[in-house]
Amino acid sequence: MKKYNITVNGTTYEVVVEEVGASQSAPSFASPTPVFSAPATPSVSAAPAPKAPAAAGASSVVAPMPGTILDIKVSAGQTVKKGDVICVLEAMKMENDIPAPQDGVIASINVQKGASIAAGDVIATLN
Q: Report pLDDT digits (tens) over 27-53.
A: 555 556 565 555 555 555 544 544 444
pLDDT band at 4 (very low <50, low <70, confident <90, very high): confident
At 44, phi and psi to the nearest 5?
-65, -35
pLDDT value for 18: 79
d(CA 28, CA 51): 50
Residues of the chain above pLDDT 70, percent: 71
- Mean pLDDT, range 65-88, rounded to an integer: 94
What b/e sequence results for 10-43 when a residue is b if at least 16 CB atoms lie within 10 Å of its CB, and e otherwise? eebeeeeeeeeeeeeeeeeeeeeeeeeeeeeeee
Q: Per-residue pLDDT for 19 more than 70? A: yes
The pLDDT tens digits of the residues spanning 83-95 come to: 999 999 999 889 9
Q: Per-residue pLDDT for 23 more than 70? A: no
The helix/strand/coil state of 90 is strand
